[in-house]
Amino acid sequence: MFSDELKKYNWEETTAQIMASTTVDVERALNSEHLTDRDFMALISPAATPYLELMAQKSRRLTEQRFGKTMQIFIPMYITNSCTNSCVYCGFNCHNKFNRVILTPEQIKAECEAIKKLGPFENLLIVTGENPAKAGTDYIEKALNVCRPYFANLTIEVMPLSTEDYERLTHSGLNGVICFQETYHRENYKKYHPAGMKSDFEWRCNGFDRMGMAGVHKIGMGVLIGLEDWRTDVTMMARHLIYLRQNYWRTKYSVNFPRMRPSESGFQPNVVMSDRELAQLTFAFRIFDPDVDISYSTRENHQFRNNMATLGVTTMSAGSKVDPGGYATYTDSLEQFTISDDTSPQKVVADLKALGREPVWKDWDRAFD
């Protein structure tokens, strides 16, 4: 399990190694065909700042070689904000006083129909809070069965499940799973997740192994930018990706680096990442792993997403609502966080085409696997 592998790496030593990177290390990484974690550390280090234009050019070239001039489009659908966790940064924190919503199958169906009116979406991300008693595996399975006739590709972002439950859901239309480790800082993890099932670092960290063992087609991973030093956190995630590729090589992978957005929690980020730094990280990940899918959500503003659309990003959300029932059922349920890009799907698509990118609504089907 990766939690055992993670013990090999010291947080402070990793931070020091990143900050000690030199221009020689950066140039070696840029000229390497197969990068190591040390090469990745050089590319995200301050020493790489003067090389951002070269990194952008290489990132664009590698992206077009692997993905062509395309952009996958997806849309999230929140089906419950019921949660038993007390994550200090999240609007769904169980101590926040607001009405909890758990959509019924009929309401989920209405959400699906409303989404299809927004555009020809085929990639749906189903999102829940973490409440195993009221919205556990049985509920998620019912939701997948309701959504399956409407969408070709179903991904979930829910509480970490057992290997058996992941495998069970693959038979109900599940194609992918996204899980945010939030931070790989083992000692500080509990500070941000003091109670609830999410407070178990080992269970969450090893959930990716369970996904791989269950044969999930695509695994998405990410850290929440704003909790700990972002350079060290994403290095741990890069090491995690290396491990997963070695052990579950049939699986596809995606990465995401969401920057913290305002929420009902009122939590203020410990670390603020600039647009320039997020661009550097995006370039570094593309150069480090040319095959990985890099996703930007509507946490990022429209102009920045357009700027990055040709430089390494391969998946974007559009028309997002981050409150349960937000498309058709409710207009006043609490959203998980405040989005930054409320541009319509039509505008997102038009801008991508103007940039020479072809929006892709569907690129995979289990029938062809």
> What pLDDT was estimated at residue 74?
97
Give the rounded percent of residues in the chain with a pLDDT score beyond 90.
87
Please write the tens of the pLDDT for every residue from 323-355.
Answer: 899 999 876 655 555 656 688 999 999 999 999
Helix (H) / strand (E) containing 169: helix 163-170
Residue 358 has pLDDT above 80, yes or no: yes
Please write the tens of the pLDDT for every residue from 53-63.
Answer: 999 999 999 99
- Return mean pLDDT, the chain: 93
Task: Look at the block and give the residue holding tokens 């979406």.
Answer: 121
Give the C-alpha separation, 284 to 32, whole Å.
Answer: 13
CB 111 within 8 A of CB 78: no
CATH number (domain holding residue 250) = 3.20.20.70
Give the C-alpha separation, 107 to 39, whole Å.
Answer: 48
Helix (H, G, I), strand (E, B) or coil at 125: strand
> Who's near 136: CB < 8 A, 6+ residues apart?
159
Please write the tens of the pLDDT for every residue from 66-105.
Answer: 999 999 999 999 999 999 999 999 888 888 877 789 999 9
* Least confident residue range of 313-317, 340-344, 363-367: 363-367
> Who's near 53: CB < 8 A, 6+ residues apart?
none
Task: Kindly indicate the confidence band of residue 128, based on its pLDDT and cuts at 50, 70 and 90.
Answer: very high
Residue 367 lies in a domain: no
Task: Look at the block and give the residue holding tokens 């999930």.
Answer: 216
Give the C-alpha separation, 99 to 157, whole Å.
Answer: 21
C-alpha distances in angstroms, 114 versus 11, 108, 181, 285, 335? Answer: 46, 10, 31, 35, 18
> What pLDDT was estimated at residue 262?
67
CB 83 within 8 A of CB 93: yes
> Which residue range is the domain that position 274 belongs to?
2-361
Residue 142 lies in a domain: yes
> What pLDDT was estimated at residue 266?
75
Token duo for residue 1: 């399990």
Residue 368 lies in a domain: no
Residue 276 lies in a domain: yes
Please tell me the total count of domains within the chain.
1
